[in-house]
C-alpha cells in the first residue's frame, strides 16, 4: 500500500518530508508484523532483542549497561525486560564477583532453545512480510545506512 493511501493524504512539503513519514510509517508497520510472530511464541520484540544480544556473547554473561547499549530501541527499559525474561526462565541473573554492584545476565538453555524456535519462525515469515528481492534489500540497506551517517 502506498503511503498516500495509508495516511489518506497527498499533501507533502517535499519528497524528503514524504520519505521521513514513509520511513516512520514503515517502521511501525514492520514492528507490528514482527511483533505478531513474537507474540505467537510468548515474547516481545524487546525481549527477543535482549536474547539475541545475549546469544552473541553466550556462554559469557553480560552486564545490563552493555545490553542496553546494543538495543535497537535505545529507550527500552532493559531491567524491566530482564525481569520478565527471568520470570520466564529464559535468562539468569547473577552478581559479578569483581564488582558486587554489577548484575550479570546470561541466556539459559531454555532461552537458547526458545530463541532458536523464534528465529526459525521469523526467518520463515520475513519473506512474506518484506517481499523484497536480495538485490532490493541490499539497496535499501545501503540507503538506510547512508541516511544514518550522522550517528
In a domain, residue 109? The reply is yes
In a domain, residue 142? The reply is no
In a domain, residue 3? The reply is no
In a domain, residue 22? The reply is yes
- What's the mean pLDDT in 19-40? 95
Q: How far apart are CA 110 and CA 76, in angstroms?
A: 23
The percent of residues above 90 in pLDDT, for the chain, comes to 83
In a domain, residue 125? The reply is yes
pLDDT at 58 over 80: yes
- What's the mean pLDDT in 71-100? 93
**First vs last Cα of the chain: how many Å apart?**
30
In a domain, residue 6? The reply is no
Which residues sit opposite 93 in a β-bridge? Answer: 105
Q: Helices (DSSP H) in 88-150: which residue ranges?
A: 109-130, 134-147
CA distances from 57 to 52, 66, 102, 129, 132 (A): 9, 11, 17, 29, 30
pTM of the model: 0.88
Q: What is the CATH number of the domain that holds 82?
A: 1.10.10.10
What's the number of domains the chain is made of?
1
E-strand ranges in 34-121 read: 62-63, 91-95, 103-107
pLDDT of residue 1: 84
- What's the mean pLDDT in 26-38? 95
Domain, as residue range, for 104 = 12-130
Amino acid at each position: 500500500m502506498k503511503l498516500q493511501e495509508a495516511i489518506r493524504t497527498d499533501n507533502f512539503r517535499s519528497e524528503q518530508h514524504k520519505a521521513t513519514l514513509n520511513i516512520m510509517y514503515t517502521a511501525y508497520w514492520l514492528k507490528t508484523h514482527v511483533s505478531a510472530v513474537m507474540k505467537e511464541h510468548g515474547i516481545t520484540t524487546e525481549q527477543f532483542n535482549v536474547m539475541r544480544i545475549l546469544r552473541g556473547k553466550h556462554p559469557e554473561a553480560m552486564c545490563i549497561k552493555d545490553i542496553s547499549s546494543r538495543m535497537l530501541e535505545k529507550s527500552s527499559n532493559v531491567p524491566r525486560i530482564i525481569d520478565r525474561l527471568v520470570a520466564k526462565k529464559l535468562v539468569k541473573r547473577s552478581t559479578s564477583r569483581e564488582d558486587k554492584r554489577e548484575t550479570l545476565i546470561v541466556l539459559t538453555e531454555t532461552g537458547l532453545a526458545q530463541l532458536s524456535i523464534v528465529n526459525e519462525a521469523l526467518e520463515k515469515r520475513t519473506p512474506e512480510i518484506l517481499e523484497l528481492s536480495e538485490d532490493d534489500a541490499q539497496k535499501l540497506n545501503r540507503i538506510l545506512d547512508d541516511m544514518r551517517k550522522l550517528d
